[in-house]
Amino acid sequence: MDHPIQTLAVIGAGAMGSGIAALYAAKGIDVVLIDPVPGALSRAAEVIDRQLGVYAPDGVAEARRRIRMDEGLEAACAGDLVIEAIPEKLELKRNVFARLDTLCPAESIFATNTSGLSINAIADSVTRRDRFVGTHFFTPADVIPLVEVVRNDDTSTDTVERVMASLRYVGKRPVLVNRDIPGFIANRIQHALAREAISLLEQSVASAEDIDEVVKWSLGIRLAITGPLEQRDMNGIDVHHAIATYLYPDLENRTTPSPLLAQKVADGHLGAKTGQGFYSWPAETREQTLRDKSATLTELVALLQKRRAD
């Protein structure tokens, strides 16, 4: 299937919405980017220029011309695919989709970029459940290749195929998640890893820097080449079984967020966006760090894609 989408509408011009808009515009698709919150669209314009400058330096002006910005939800009716990227609140998402359902042509496909809320619960707010799907991008949305496509119980095969074709056209590697399970695949694995890392920090087993150093330069670097199941085959499943037998009883298995996490939220130490999290993020270095991260990820993705193609 060629590219089945002529115009993309993106609802929410924050970190994810801006990245998705930049990605599609850089690939020649017209985009309407919608956000009613004062100041959001001008902030998005800065983010989009920064991102396009990293991976499409010769096409910034052309790509920017393809992105129309609007404060009103009515503008979404131009999109044959409408991707929602507003805050992770179920009722907010349901309200926005209920309105979109009355505004947009019946044939438009709706997608939510929720990180892990139930796709069925969000899809209940529209009459077009067969044309409703989850598209879970990863940050930076325009750089990380994978997108989890999650169907609700009524999503049609045609909808899945059109959304997957559209994602492939803009260079993504979509994977279909067969069941609407909380956190889908990636966030379940990511949170299992983060729960253990935070627990190790709480127990003073090592500093935050050293815990990150261990993951970045061992598991992290290897995971880009061999996934966790493939790696078990390399290590030997008998070896994994033996380690799992003595290790699992000792692993963190709490079912609520750790007190350390709760304290950081209460103190307003929310990470890079507030200047303090597990690390300090001075405003003067934060932008540069984000830019460097995007540039390095772009190089790494290009290298890995070349390796797969060879």
Q: How far is the CB of 17 from ligand NAD (least distance, A)?
A: 6
Contact between 253 and ligand NAD by CB under 6 A: the answer reads: no
Catalytic residue among 84, 108, 125, 148: 148
Does 180 engage in binding with ligand NAD (CB under 6 A)? Answer: no
Known active-site residue 235: no
Nearer residue to ligand NAD within complex by CB, 59 or 183: 183
- Provide DSSP, the chain: -----SEEEEE--SHHHHHHHHHHHHTT-EEEEE--STTHHHHHHHHHHHHHHHH-GGGHHHHHHTEEEESSGGGGGG-SEEEE---S-HHHHHHHHHHHHHHS-TT-EEEE--SSS-HHHHHTTSS-GGGEEEEE--SSTTT--EEEEEE-TT--HHHHHHHHHHHHHTT-EEEEESS--TTTTHHHHHHHHHHHHHHHHHTTSS-HHHHHHHIIIIIIHHHTTS-HHHHHHHH-HHHHHHHHHHHGGGS---SS--HHHHHHHHHT--BGGGTBSSSB--HHHHHHHHHHHHHHHHHHHHHHHHHHH-
Choosing from 5, 8, 12, 55, the residue that interacts with ligand NAD (CB under 6 A) is: 12
The answer to whether residue 187 is catalytic is yes
Q: Does 149 contact ligand NAD by CB under 6 A?
A: no
31 binds ligand NAD (CB under 6 A): no
| Segment 221-226 long-range contacts (CB within 8 Å, at least 24 positions apart) | 224/300, 224/304, 225/304
> Does 10 help bind ligand NAD (rule: CB under 6 A)?
no
Please give the helix or strand (H or E) that residue 245 lies within, else none: helix 237-247
**Cβ distance to ligand NAD smaller for residue 41 or 215:** 41
Return the range that interacts with ligand NAD (CB under 6 A); candidates 21-29, 31-39, 214-222, 245-253.
31-39
Identify the active-site residue in 108, 113, 115, 125: 115
List the catalytic residue out of 118, 156, 187, 199: 187
Q: What is the 3-state secondary structure (H, E, C) of 247-270?
A: HHHHCCCCCCCCHHHHHHHHHCCC
Q: Is 88 in the site for ligand NAD (CB under 6 A)?
A: yes
16 touches ligand NAD by CB under 6 A: yes
**Among residues 96 and 123, whose Cβ is nearest to ligand NAD?**
96
Give the tokens for residue 131: 């044309």
Least spacing, CB of residue 44 vs ligand NAD, in Å: 7
294 is catalytic: no
140 binds ligand NAD (CB under 6 A): no
One residue of 7, 115, 125, 152 binding ligand NAD per CB under 6 A: 115
Query: Least distance to ligand NAD from the beta carbon of 269, Å?
Result: 17
Residue 37 is a binding residue for ligand NAD (CB under 6 A)? yes
Q: Which stretch binds ligand NAD (CB under 6 A): 52-60, 136-144, 170-178, 299-307?
A: 136-144
Q: Give the residue with the Cβ less far from ligand NAD, 62 or 292.
A: 292
Asked whether position 139 contacts ligand NAD by CB under 6 A, the answer is yes
Sign of torsion over alpha carbons 131, 137, 140, 145? negative
Q: Is 148 a catalytic residue?
A: yes
Residues marked active site are found at 115, 136, 148, 187
Q: Which residues are at the interface with ligand NAD (CB under 6 A)?
A: 11-17, 35-37, 40, 85-88, 96, 113-115, 136-139
